[in-house]
Amino acid sequence: MKTYDIIIIGAGASGIFAAGRIKNKSVCILDAGATPLRRVAISGGGKCNFTNMSADYKHYFGENPNFTRSALAVWTPADMLNWAHNHNIKTFEKSPGQYFAHDATDIINALLKDANKTDIILNTNVLSATKSGNIFEIKTNTQTFFAKHLCIATGGISYTNISSGDIGYKIAKSFGHKIIPPRPALCGIKTKIFDSNLSGISTPVEITINREKITDNMLFTHWGIGGPAIYRTSVRDINNGFTINLLPNCDIENLIKTTKQSNGRRQIKTILSQQMPEHLAEFLIGKNTKNIADWTNNEIKKLAEKMIIKMAPTEFELQKFDSAEITRGGIDTTNISSKTMESKLCQGLYFIGECLDIAGDLGGYNLHMAWATATAFAKNFE
């Protein structure tokens, strides 16, 4: 049986990119799915938001965000943008610094072209991995593979229908690595605080998590809240809850009091509807039809306070893994070299991509970390 120089478990973004950057070594990729790069294909709504020029450690979350610094220095957003241009991939900037391909297929084809000398074996379930002497033995449902080096690139466990499952975590644990309990991230939040009749309404909000503030659009759904603001909230530490300011750019109390003096016959609903969607205004004030002149200052103050929604931990829950874009948690980075991605517990064993306890913000950060950790790993074989 052939012994490969390197076996990579996982034909996702990090695994395929790593294989494409390793030269003059025999490389094999094992994957349980029928096609490689399945999540790349659906990222960015099929247009693949492949990098973000703002990528730095502050946009990553986990037990140790500083772990990302070395990989980000090795492979920068500018490097990834140059890679795309060198592969004649047409790109566009959706928002400042956030780059997409016109078609995710272009990214996929380029990645596979780079890795064209790699043996990619699909529909193969890895069952276990052990090491005897200097050789890794990888057992699958079809046969046993051997390699001098083993890289785990299995990703997280979100998008359960196309993920590689938790085999990466199991292998890491078998070699003594700790697993930070995985949870869904970049996902919607279920809550009964808002009326389901608000479903479909989008509005700009400011979300406060501890001392951090996120300003973005929030979408009301039939099960709770979603949209960019909530996705970004979900990847952060929200065990203590968070608050939602429904009118971040308006001092509504002062506005109503001023209007009360100048035009007291107007209704509160009219003023609120000029600042937010009408149905949301109706939800906040109920059936109250009093003119502004009939509102006391105390009533106006209480209405203004209703614009700040306090989300206690008991009042919400994250959507499940099958609806989440990424996984928060995973293989603890404590016993992994941030420069080489090699295990500190087992020589020749490496971990890259989303299987690690590294979760990026919304907007291309997670794919960029896949490229960056893959590059850090590949440099071991230059």
Question: What are the pLDDT digits (tens) for 85-138?
Answer: 999 999 999 999 999 999 999 999 999 999 999 999 999 999 999 999 999 999
Distances (CA, A) of 255 to 161, 262, 273, 280, 304: 50, 11, 13, 18, 10
Q: Model confidence at 174, in pLDDT bands (50, 70, 90)?
A: very high
What pLDDT does 253 receive? 92
Q: Is 329 in contact with 345 (CB distance < 8 Å)?
A: no
Contact by Cβ (8 Å): 358, 67 = yes
- Quick: pLDDT tens for 175-208: 999 999 999 999 999 999 999 999 999 999 999 9
pLDDT at 162: 66
Could you tell me which residues come within 8 angstroms of residue 338 by beta carbon, excluding any fewer than 6 positions away? 66, 67, 68, 69, 70, 71, 376
d(CA 332, CA 358): 9
Domain boundaries, the chain: 3-184+323-381, 188-318
Inter-CA distances, 218 with 4, 31, 71, Å: 49, 36, 32
**At 288, is the pLDDT very low, low, confident or very high (cuts 50, 70, 90)?**
confident
Mean residue pLDDT across the chain: 95
For 188-318, which CATH superfamily applies? Answer: HI0933 insert domain-like (1.10.8.260)
Q: Which CATH class is domain 3-184+323-381?
A: alpha beta
Q: Specify the length of the chain in residues.
A: 382
Query: How much is the pLDDT for 165?
Result: 81
Q: How far apart are CA 169 and CA 72, in angstroms?
A: 24
CA distance 4 to 169: 22
- From residue 176, how far is each of 153, 179, 332, 334 by CA, in Å? 17, 10, 11, 12
Q: What is the pTM of this model?
A: 0.95
